[in-house]
Amino acid sequence: MQPKNLICIGFVPLFALTVLSTQEAMLIISNLSGKYQIIASLLFGAGLRINEALRLRIKDIDFHNKSIFVFRGKGNKDRYTL
């Protein structure tokens, strides 16, 4: 008998992902400080990946249009995020 959170595709069992609620994420971010809080806020709020947030430059942030230009993100593709 398989556990309820186990998904099987072919012969390889995959576990279901656990996702934080908004309140849990905000609690974690509020307990951080300095640059770590800014990075975690970008990861959660703008949907950035870790490498994208760490490679972010000031000139990539457009405050007027409230957007962030992600240069060479996943798959070496450029994209805009809000």
Where are the domains positioned within the chain? 21-81
Q: CB of 54 within 8 A of CB of 39?
A: yes
H or E segment to which residue 37 belongs? helix 35-45
Q: What is the pLDDT along the chain (82 residues), one digit of tens a residue?
A: 555 565 656 666 667 778 888 999 999 999 999 999 988 988 888 888 888 888 888 888 888 988 888 877 777 777 877 7
